[in-house]
Structure 1
């Protein structure tokens, strides 16, 4: 097999600036095909990005920052028994067989955009559904039938108000759905009772359904209490600067690596087209012979 002398070896291609890329010396470590000593010559770039990140973090860490407070409203869950048939067809909380799963399900239902939007309307300007969702965290307490609504704000009183308003709004929102379901369930039970006045069990269910509907309160979910607001701990300035410095150094090294890889990228004109094969007895071939 013959090689075409007019084709240049890719390994000897020049870089973008026209200079041949240096081959890694034997025994010299390389990073992604770039010799380590070539990366090290970009140390000013790494230093600049690191210092820039440190300066920016120092401005943030030691700049004027207002304190932040959080308050938590506790909401106990009293689920219905799994065997309950009185409240079938309603959204009242039913025992899932595990406290964690029961409370987790309820927490996901409460943490909705609709509740956040209604809370924002109750709080007034400048609150919005997005800002309420950013300030409020709804989560279950491990291994308990308890849900915590935690709100953060710049002032202690505001944090308490947001947490309580969100919890109250969530209960009202749920009750709108549950009350309509209870009305349908009562109508169904009333129809069965009228058809059979001696249906004692159905009559008892009708009484219980009517009682819950008239109270206007969800018997499976309530508000226990709201604790006093506490100041939220801030990340120490030294930790912020260390993390920022590490990030700046990484970006500097990444930029140096990208530059070196770009310099080593072969240009399209570095690879010559294969020479045109000439017939052995052509005039051009004979003229080349000595």
Structure 2
């Protein structure tokens, strides 16, 4: 008989509460710090509050969970009957979350496999769901990790931001790369590659960004079965337009998740973010 494998992730997976409940997924939150106030993502601060703080030029930073927070979750999951844990987290290039999980895993009461997925947001979310479904079908920890790593490797993420300043300030993109979007009236499109943010191309307007993101999804999806997420921060109308176009043009569309990113990603991307995640299955 396969061991019972529990799934743990962090708050940047942005999974809906009902999905977390249905698959019994445990979440360890990251923290957003506005001024001197530290607030847990997902429970104590909204993306809207982060967007407003950024627009008012208040200092906004983020911090990883502590190893002690991971240890508490691992102990709770083990006490509930899990015989093994697979802990799946955002790219280690973005955060020390993976490292904190590794520290806690060493002394956990059951074996813990910690995975740096190299992705974030619903790219992480789709990866976590693939892991949970494998565990539910009786998969071993090795099989759960393999399913997660395959889903993460197959998943792509592209996004548009109004400015690269927020990514530069947070150290998520270098000064040289920030110059990519510095020209007057030019907006940057970026992509996630090997756990890092890299420039892709430039567009002139937000409407052209929507069109370009649409073409990227349609081209990558082809006739394959794909789940897609459309993320935004303070750009609900743009996200709705893009989602409507994708419903019409992607023949193998499975789940289409549309929603605002959480506070942590919002703090680094800034208001106006529009992103897409393409995840074949």
Shorter-normalised TM range: under 0.3
TM-score normalised over the length of structure 1: 0.18
TM-score normalised over the length of structure 2: 0.19
Greater RCO, CA 8 A, separation 6+: 1
Q: Which has the larger radius of gyration?
A: 1
More strand by share: 2
